[in-house]
Amino acid sequence: MGRLQNEPHFHSKNKMKNNLLLKNPIQALIATEMGQILELPGFEMMGRSGDLYRKPFAEELSPFPENALENFLPNRVPMLWSSEKGPQPIEKSARETYFPTAAILPVGYLRTLLPAAAPSKRNFLPQWAYTAIGISNGERVCACIKIESSDRWENHYFNTPELQLKIEKRLSQNPQNRVLKQLALCASEYHCNTAQNIFYGRWEGALPASPVCNAQCVGCISLQPEELPPSSHERINFAPTVEEILNVALPHLEESPDPILSFGQGCEGEPLMAAATLEKAILAIRAKTLQGTLNLNTNASYPLGFLKLCKAGLETVRISMNSAIKETYESYYQPKGYGFEQVIETAKIARDHPLAVSINLLTFPGVTDREEEAEALLKFIKDTQIAAIQWRNLAIDPDQYLQALPPRKGQILGIPPLLNLIKSEHPQVHHLSFSRPKEFFRGRAMM
Ligand code: SF4
């Protein structure tokens, strides 16, 4: 197993880590029952990486990002570092009960450590990507690193006062179009940026296409079992027609600046389950316009259906995966009628077609950066020649996720060392947080 440990940068990282140990300890933050977030004197910040609890390294911390949200974890006990006794579960003081604190990061930031909350078998928390926080010299710090920023995803561009009017006007032009009605719900209820872009008429626009999925992800964001916290979106319950798709797609591609049309959204199942409809839609779109980029966000489970979309005119694809190891992937995706082999096959079809391939890497500290996961990911990148990794913080209760996965085999590298390892082994790979138009991958567009 110890290949990676022999890698020069792994060791240099280790040596560096010692140098990167924090000069000034980061103080711990806890929350009270009233939700107050307080510094707890005598205790330092800890973070969690899978099943490991430890103090953060300097390279894992950033100042608290603008637009990050601060909150606390109910029914959980904070694990803090006491200068006398080391790691301690600190449940309460004489006067009150304490809870672990966390941040929810804005897009563009990659989480490096989970909040140090004692593991719990009790009710799982809602679907957020909980991130460790602390305080240093009075300033909040967060266990995250910045991947990139794009002003097109800045909050001030979305949920603006004129949005509702734009939605109503568009709906009045096509009152029967179920896709538009769904996007209106997603734009106003779920505040989905790509749904809003359809009504603003710009950039990356959403186009959901499938009410069904051939996977049952533990953290599915559109369908969750009754007994678990609700999914963050309600899955569409209709199969859009080619006409409904064209009615949304053509105006977006023909009239928007830098248009991307993305099939495969959080409010649907798996778009490849609607491959027959999407094939007809893509052929019809490209018969009318060559404008913009046709993108597919997918679990890559149906190679044959995917090949049909490539031949029809699909241009970019983003493959969602939590791991490049069959066991880890399948224990999370719980696939029905396909396996990780089909994901690799689809990525290779895209490589050979060729399409610009990105992976939407559902990232989780202590899993994604396990030694064996890093090795498998490096091999996946080499075999499939992907162009980019979109680093996505996996939004799920940490204990729910870890309980679903096989135990780790090797060491945990840390998220920054993992990122550096991929950069040194595959310098051609872009590290992104947002989707890009086809021109970007052909070196003709920077945004
Ligand atoms: S692939 Fe997507 S829609 Fe299907 S179960 Fe997973 S998260 Fe849900």
Domains of the chain and any CATH numbers: 3-146 (no CATH), 151-441 (3.20.20.70)
pTM of the model: 0.93
> Do the Cβ atoms of 32 and 69 come closer than 8 Å?
no
At residue 7 the predicted structure's pLDDT band, cuts being 50, 70 and 90, is very low
Q: Which residue has a Cα nearest atom 3 of ligand 1?
A: 269
Does residue 265's CB lie within 6 angstroms of at least one atom of ligand 1?
A: no
Average pLDDT over residues 104-128: 90
Q: Which atom of ligand 1 is nearest to the CA of 223?
A: 8
Token pair 């077609």 in the structure block, residue: 353
Query: How confident is the model over 205-221, as a mean pLDDT?
Result: 97
Q: Is the CB of 222 under 6 A from ligand 1?
A: yes
C-alpha–C-alpha distance, residues 7 and 422, integer Å: 12
Cα(160)–Cα(427) distance, integer angstroms? 39
Confidence class for position 178, pLDDT limits 50, 70, 90 = very high
- Choice among 82-96, 173-187, 327-341 with the minimum mean pLDDT: 82-96
Closest CA to 43 of 143, 118, 119, 116: 116
Interval 55-77 mean pLDDT: 94
Ligand 1 atom nearest residue 219's Cα: 7
Residue whose CB lies within 8 A of the most ligand 1 atoms, among 210, 213, 232, for a mutation test: 213
Average pLDDT, the chain: 92
- 302: Cβ contacts below 8 Å, ≥ 6 apart: 214, 270, 272, 273, 275, 338, 342, 346
Statement: residue 8 has pLDDT above 60: no
215 lines ligand 1 (CB under 6 A): yes
Query: Does residue 261 surpass a pLDDT of 60?
Result: yes
Band of the pLDDT at 308, cuts 50, 70, 90? Answer: very high
pLDDT at 3 (0 to 100): 40
| Rounded alpha-carbon distances, angstroms, from residue 182 to 177, 186, 192 | 9, 6, 11
Taking the centre of ligand 1 as the mean of its atom positions, its distance from the CA of residue 395, in whole angstroms, is: 13
Choose among 178, 181, 53: nearest CA to 114. Answer: 53
Angle at which helix 178-188 crosses helix 163-173, to 10 degrees, equals: 170
Summarize the confidence of residues 391-420 as an average pLDDT.
96
The answer to whether the CB of 239 falls within 8 A of the CB of 277 is yes
Which residue among 333, 338, 362, 396 is best mutated to probe the pocket of ligand 1, counting the most ligand atoms within 8 A of its Cβ? Answer: 333
Compute the distance between CA of residue 108 and CA of residue 391 in angstroms, rounded to an integer: 8
19 pLDDT band, cuts 50/70/90, is very low
pLDDT of residue 122: 64
Where do we find the tokens 């135990």?
A: 407
For position 388, what pLDDT does the model report?
A: 98
| CA 275 – CA 209 distance, rounded (Å) | 9
Q: What is the mean pLDDT of residues 220-244?
A: 93
pLDDT band at 118 (very low <50, low <70, confident <90, very high): confident
Could you tell me the distance, in angstroms and rounded to a whole number, from the CA of residue 215 to the centre of ligand 1? 6
Q: In angstroms, what is the span from residue 379 Cα to ligand 1's centroid? A: 24
Asked if residue 266 has its Cβ within 6 Å of ligand 1, the reply is: no
- Residue 93's pLDDT band, with cuts at 50, 70 and 90, is confident
Cβ–Cβ under 8 Å, residues 402 and 50: yes
The answer to whether residues 264 and 298 touch, using CB atoms and an 8 Å cutoff, is yes
Cβ neighbors of 203 (< 8 A, separation 6 or more) are 152, 197, 256, 257, 258, 259, 260
Q: How confident is the model at residue 444 (pLDDT cuts 50, 70, 90)?
A: low
DSSP 370: B
Please give the pLDDT value at position 283.
98
Q: Residue 113: its pLDDT value, please?
A: 98
Strand ranges for 332-375 from DSSP E: 356-363
Question: With pLDDT > 90 as the criterion, what percentage of the chain qualifies?
Answer: 83
Q: Strand runs (DSSP E) across 278-347, as ranges?
A: 293-298, 316-321
* Predicted pLDDT of residue 21: 53
16: pLDDT strictly greater than 50? no
CA of 234 to the centre of ligand 1 (A): 12
Going by C-alpha positions, the residue among 271, 253, 288 that lies closest to residue 438 is 253
Ligand 1 probe mutation, 214, 220, 362, most atoms within 8 A of CB: 220
pLDDT for residue 123? 82
- Give the torsion sign (CA, 355, 356, 362, 367): positive
The residue-averaged pLDDT of 297-325 equals 98
Nearest CA to ligand 1 atom 7: 220
User: Would you say 379 and 415 are in contact if contact means Cβ atoms under 8 Å apart?
Assistant: no
Query: Among the atoms of ligand 1, which is closest to the Cα of residue 268?
Result: 3
Q: Whose CA is nearest to atom 6 of ligand 1?
A: 217
Q: Model confidence at 121, in pLDDT bands (50, 70, 90)?
A: low
* Separation of alpha carbons 413 and 192, rounded Å: 34
